[in-house]
Amino acid sequence: MKIRLGLPKGSLQESTFKLFKKAGFNVSCPSRSYIPSIDDDEINCLLIRAQEMSRYVEEGVLDCGLTGNDWIEENSSNVIKVAELKYAKQTLNPVRWVVAVPKDSPIKKAKDLKGARIATELVNVTKKYLKKNKVNAEVEFSWGATEIKVPELVDAIVELTETGSSLRANNLKIIDVVCYSTTWLIANKKTWKNLSKRKKIENIALLLKGAILAEEMVGLKMNVMEKNLKDVLKILPAMQKPTISNLTQDKWVAVETIICEKEVRELIPKLKQAGVVGIIEYPLNKAIY
């Protein structure tokens, strides 16, 4: 039993390979190849553009694949949405499709797009956005390099952005958000009815979600005197209850927990003040609970 897994070619490729690595899968691909190798005999991989992924999954060419919710909506694909995987090219945050215009444009809000010419790759979703806002405007497909088309060729663009830096570099301003999007693991409906393939896809989803969760978490180990343990536990956040074990040294215990990495710099001084010693912070590959 093998499943055909589509991995996104392009901007998400590198971050996807890194995510699979943390999830326990070694994926590699020569620069000019579209067939990655993976150290799992039950998986065959193909590199496919995210824009096309949901169509191939819906048609059964692929059993499953990773793509953005934006392209699932754009293609109106009838697929199983197995798991939301909140990662992008640079961050773990959702990406945005935004309406952008030149900084000196008179267009300030959605209503001002009436009669405008808009370029975008996300044509169908943009048309739905305009309809929702009761605006009549012309939407044309853009093959790329959309930012350079305003104002000479079009009045506005609908473009994907993660940080907004590219838009700012091209002297553009954002006037509205068309939609937010995250990456999803999707599956073909017929494949989903195959119990062995479904189990394999669910296991992949479990490991990928664990790897993403671990990106923002770290483990902490520390030694605490028993008399101080109650006070330490009050200031110690955790995904679940911390693990507490006895030390060979009398009246001391070891405490181990998992916390959000952003909390560490505030937490460690508080732990030190509470009498904690031997604090060790370590990275995680997966966090599943």
The domains of the chain, with CATH numbers, are: 3-88+183-214 (3.40.190.10), 95-181 (3.40.190.10), 217-283 (3.30.70.120)
C-alpha span between 48 and 267 (Å, rounded): 43
Asked whether residue 235 carries a pLDDT value surpassing 70, the answer given is yes
| Percent with pLDDT over 70 in the chain | 97
- Kindly indicate the confidence band of residue 117, based on its pLDDT and cuts at 50, 70 and 90: very high
Asked whether residue 241 carries a pLDDT value surpassing 90, the answer given is no
Q: What is the pLDDT of residue 163?
A: 78
C-alpha span between 247 and 153 (Å, rounded): 71
Question: Helices 195-215 and 13-23: crossing angle, nearest 10°?
Answer: 100
Q: What is the pLDDT of residue 131?
A: 96
Q: What is the pLDDT of residue 92?
A: 63
Angstrom CA distances, 213 to 77, 86, 259, stand at 28, 9, 11
Q: What is the pLDDT of residue 239?
A: 63
What is the pLDDT of the chain when averaged over all its residues? Answer: 92
Q: What is the pLDDT of residue 10?
A: 86
Alpha helices in the chain, H assignment, sequence order: 13-23, 50-59, 69-74, 123-132, 165-169, 189-192, 195-215, 229-235, 264-273
Q: What is the pTM of this model?
A: 0.86
Mean pLDDT of 194-213: 96
Task: Name which of 105-109, 150-154, 156-160, 164-168 the model is least confident about.
Answer: 164-168
Q: What is the pLDDT of residue 156?
A: 96
For the stretch 118-152, pLDDT in tens is: 999 999 999 999 999 999 999 999 987 888 899 89
For the stretch 12-52, pLDDT in tens is: 899 999 999 999 999 999 888 899 999 999 999 999 999 99
Q: What is the pLDDT of residue 137?
A: 96
CB 225 within 8 A of CB 255: no
Q: What is the pLDDT of residue 68?
A: 94
Give exposure, 195-218, as e/b (b: 16+ Cβ within 10 Å).
eebbebbeebbebbbbbbbbbebb
Phi-psi region of 275 (alpha: psi -120 to 50; beta: other; left: phi over 0): left
Asked whether residue 238 carries a pLDDT value surpassing 70, the answer given is no
For the stretch 73-102, pLDDT in tens is: 999 999 999 999 988 756 667 889 999 999
Mean pLDDT of 235-243: 79
Give the position of tokens 């994926």.
27
- Kindly indicate the confidence band of residue 237, based on its pLDDT and cuts at 50, 70 and 90: confident
